[in-house]
Amino acid sequence: MPRARRAAPRPRRLRRTGVALGLLFVTAAPATAEVVRVVIDRREPVLGGQAFGAAGAYEKIVGRVFFEFDPRSPANAAIVDLHLAPLNGAGKVEAWADVVVLQPANPSKRRGVAWLEVSNSGAKASLRYFNRAPSAAADPSAAEDFGDGLLLRQGLTVIWVGWQWDVPEREGLLRLHVPAARAGGGPVTGLVRADWTVDEATPVLDLGHRGHRAYPPLDPAGPENVLTVRSGRLAPREVVPRERWRFVAGRGGGDGRPTWIELEGGFEAGRIYEIVYRAAEPRIVGLGLAAVRDVMAYSRNNLRSEFPTEKGIAFGVSQTGRFLRHFLYQGFNTDEQGRKVFDGMLVHSAGAGRGSFNHRFAQPSRDAHRYSAFFYPTDLFPFASRLLSDPVTGAEDGLLRRTREDHRPYVFYTNSGYEYWGRAASLIHTTADGLADVLPLPQERIYHLAGGQHSVGAFPPPGGSEVPGTPAYRGNPLDFLLVLRALAVRLVEWVDEGTEPPPSHYPKLSEGTLVPPAAVAFPRVPGVASPRVIHEAYRADYGPRFADSGIVDVEPPVLGPAFPSLAPQVDGLGNELSGIRTVELRVPVATYAPWHVRTGMAGGEGELSDFVGTLIPLPANEEERARTGDPRPSLEALHGTKQVYMRRVVGAVQDLVSSGLLLPEDVGAATERAQALWDWAVARVGASAPTGH
């Protein structure tokens, strides 16, 4: 039967109080709270008071939240360098963050469940991912910013809070303002590393990753500042003579600090450059984990909360999906008062990673891909939730080892096919040697969004995305967001009502759907290069103090043996067999590869491109198939006519609805998308329509 219901928003017993000061509202918390003050800069109705179903009208709160963290609390013991932060008169460490909240304006219509998005690089993704908004607005205000209002129609309180100190300098991004570590009144120093895959020659490079704030060098002329260059990810490093390069002030509106580097003759396309330098005053980056914890604790436990809730769900995507895995690994789902923080988590596109979220001189945006941002502390053992052993080092650990058993949340791990190729996702459900399956815990679900790239690609494929000499396009438009919407509702139901969600769907060794990369039976489509490599997680040595103290003494790290990364097996068309197969895979008009091989570039030939996949349309008819030598069936042979195709689409859509993997309200969107795919696949190169029956 279709799963269409949801509980009506339940009345809240906690009442909001505050003192009005013009447009400024201040709410003070009890002295024992970690959130000590909330300052509201704006409170305004959403869309002029428009109702969102039974939840009614919503309001938007924009403001700042102020924290005090107790360095003596066991709940904060994992925060690196917290003991070196400046203290206030109460012996606490202070910080503050930007916060934005959407909640039903009428307290009686609030469901009592928070949806707290851990913002990727300070942005707001939830309304785009779950409300079908066309973009992620920095300050959602227009009707299109809210899409179809799904999260709001669920009666949820949607919270965004800054947790990252180094987000780019752009209006509307959420930031956490944290102190720097100092020892005995003097600066703390250490090694910082930055690297670049240079695809186009350039005279300068930014030390910050993707526009994020960078640590300036302590001494621009210091002997510990070393620039190297190499021709491949594991190729030998060559030291660039010191007289050929120098630190320079920021380009395009920088603050005057020397956070760029300039090379005599410029940086050469096709090469990998890497710098290691000494910096001072590392920020207490791990406070981001505590800030997310304490905002949720404030929401659900403070009787004077400006956005009161009873339960909490965290959502993280990519970087912040890895953040939530790190959050769990370091035991942050218990607050300073010993209370549970989140009841549920949707961890999307994190693969097996954690990240640079809590070590000295951490750069949270550094992520470690197959061919960029190499070897940062992202893909580190353990990977799975269960307690497992590393057969090489003998270490025994699990992602939830430090989380109290009664504080373990319900978790959905959702990964596209890209995360298997580009984020080592197989390690979350295999043993460390890659030889056996590992079942998720009862409170977990693992959902493989088969065939998808890291985020949904544009459709129709934009001009210039054609791969020369092939029928392929760079970018994969398989739309897994419709499934993700349904999973969000299923998670809310699990947390709020105890309704069991759909079973896990992911590739397994025991079923032959998870295999070594070389065993993936991808069809030999003329001109299309298939992968010969996959992203790997290494046993990396960052120095003797890293594991216990979070201090990096070895940069770049010394790499030990890699953990085995496995990939989903494919069918005869090259589409992934396992996981949640959307309409695109159940009734295909193309091959949706979650990877894209670098070809025709200055360097990295045969490596994998970051984030993107490949779309390879099927031949429209047998004539085109014969002419191109394509081994895959044509649309004519596979479906016959559009009418047959659409009948199959309707059946696939209904099956997804009955499985709880598609919302009944999204039947039309899924069907229309499938029709558009057919029309495009037939007309893309002026091909004649299939003539079959």
**How is residue 504 annotated by DSSP?**
P
DSSP H or E run through 321:
helix 319-329
**How is residue 226 annotated by DSSP?**
E
Query: CB of 162 within 8 A of CB of 121?
Result: no
**C-alpha 586 chain-centroid distance:** 26
Query: CB of 560 within 8 A of CB of 413?
Result: no
**Which amino acid, 175?**
R
Give the span between the Cα atoms of 64 and 97, in whole angstroms: 6
Regions of the chain short of the pLDDT cut 70: 1-33, 251-255, 685-693
* Helices H / strands E in the chain, number of each: 12, 30
**How is residue 684 annotated by DSSP?**
T
- The structure tokens 């894209």 sit at 596
Give residue 186's pLDDT: 84
Which ranges of 541-691 would DSSP assign to H, the alpha helix? 546-549, 583-586, 622-628, 635-638, 642-658, 667-683
Per-residue pLDDT of 349-383, as tens digits, reads: 999 999 999 999 999 999 989 999 999 999 999 99
**Which amino acid, 639?**
H
Give residue 254's pLDDT: 57
Angle at 132 between CA 130 and CA 135, to 5 degrees: 105
* Domains in the chain, CATH or no CATH each: 19-179+285-380+407-454 (3.40.50), 189-280 (no CATH)
**How is residue 387 annotated by DSSP?**
-
Cα distances from 171 to residues 46, 98, 137, 319, in angstroms, run: 20, 12, 11, 20
- The structure tokens 């058993």 sit at 405
DSSP H or E run through 506:
none
Give the span between the Cα atoms of 214 and 194, in whole angstroms: 9
